[in-house]
A = this chain, B = another copy of it.
Amino acid sequence: MNSFLPSEKVSSQFLFEKFADLWIQKFGELSDDPLSVSGPSPSLVFISKTNDLTQALQSESAKTIIIDAKLVGATTSTTKTIFATRNIRQVMAQVLPYFDGKFSRWHNQAPLQTSKFTMGKGVTISQGCVISEGVVIGNNVVLAPYVVLEKNCSVGDNSYLHPFVVIGENCQVGQNCEIYSHSVIGSGGFGFSTESQVHKKIAQVGRVVIEDDVVISALCTIDRATLSETRIGRGTKLDSHSHVAHNCSIGPNAIMAAGFMMAGSCHIGSNFTAAGAVVMQDHVRVGDNVIIGGRSAVTRDTLKSGAYTGYPLEPFDDGLRTLANLRNLTNMRKQIAKITKFLKLDQEKPDEL
């Protein structure tokens, strides 16, 4: 085992600069979930829980592992390359920029060169589109004016991208998709390492995968994952002004009305329905066949199929009853005051009540 516990202030930066140089030579997958890495290419895995470490140590492809210092004791007798740190998010903030293609993405561009990307038959490329190196465009795709396709992204057959849509580096859009104006697929997720009140951005180097038959309305953002992927399932429809944060997944055939906002690392099953302006807290799981009423907030796991509404979320009929009773709240308070007075309970010391 090759373990190392750097002083965060001095050596970790030096360590990772050297490390990233080497790594870039033999680039593999990046992940914070040891079950998600596979295949022959060597993968770099970030681990902060004992259970995840066990799995990472058994994984063939997790060649290099960065662990929380508290796990050092659990890493004996392994052939993996392991780095330990007292602050794993700070290390992510330091090391991930070396894997982020953003800084070499744009050049002072020559006119469009068709030799640098791949394109099917019957494609429309309108005025001012930017098609970067390594892009793959399927048959019959329509790119309206000023669509920007960043490096190595792909757009499947028959998909239609409206004006000013941005598809980020390495992101995938499936077949028969439609994305409306100004939507941004694969913007940088909102993840930071905070120390002494200073927030340092963790580069987001994962991707977004949009499966087939998806519709995304105007002015939506689907953020790329930190390391792995954000996924929008087949047939899903997302209305305008919606936001899907990094590392989320949404099962097939979901439909979400306008203003849907989903914080990071949420997972939603099949056939989800959300009325307008629903928000979800981060790291929440939702099961299959769940319906959420308008203006609701989903703040905890909601695995059982069925309809729910409100904030806090309740089964639909209970939520409607709570809402109806809110109109009665002032009257309820008056009734309690009356009862208290009638029973002379209001003559006790106030802290008794």
Contact = CB atoms under 8 A, between A and B. Distances in A.
Interface of A: 102-103, 105-109, 124-128, 130, 142-146, 148, 160, 162-164, 166, 178, 180-182, 184, 187-188, 190, 192, 194, 197-199, 201, 215, 217-219, 221, 223, 235, 237, 239-241, 243, 245, 253, 255, 257-259, 261, 263, 270-271, 275-277, 279, 281, 294-295, 297, 299, 310-312, 314, 318, 321-336, 338-340, 342-343, 345, 352-353
Nearest to A192: B237
A253 to B, nearest CB: 5
Given A109-B126, A166-B181, A322 B329 contact: yes
A164 B144 CA distance: 13
A188 B183 CA distance: 13
Q: Which of A160, A261, A331 has the most CB of B within 10 A?
A: A261
Contacts of A339: 336, 339-340, 343, 345
A241 B221 contact: yes
A345 B345 contact: no
A253 B333 contact: no
A247 to B, nearest CB: 14
Question: Copy number of this protein in the oligomer?
Answer: 3
B219 A182 contact: yes
Nearest to A144: B106
Given A221-B217, A261-B259, A279-B294, A124 B142 contact: no
A166 B270 CA distance: 34
A259 B312 CA distance: 19
A168 to B, nearest CB: 9
Contacts of A106: 124, 126, 142-145
A221 B219 contact: yes
A130 B127 contact: yes
B187 A184 contact: no
A178 to B, nearest CB: 7
Contacts of A178: 188, 201
Task: Tell me which of A125, A221, A275, A321 has the highest count of chain B C-beta atoms within 10 A of its own C-beta.
Answer: A221
A183 to B, nearest CB: 9
Given A218-B187, A335-B336, A327 B312 contact: yes
Nearest to A201: B215
Given A145-B148, A190-B239, 16 more contacts: A103-B160, A108-B126, A126-B130, A127-B130, A146-B148, A162-B187, A164-B164, A182-B182, A184-B218, A190-B257, A197-B253, A223-B240, A241-B261, A294-B299, A310-B326, A325-B332
A310 to B, nearest CB: 8
Contacts of A345: 338-339, 342
Contacts of A332: 325, 332-333, 336
A152 to B, nearest CB: 16
A221 B180 CA distance: 11
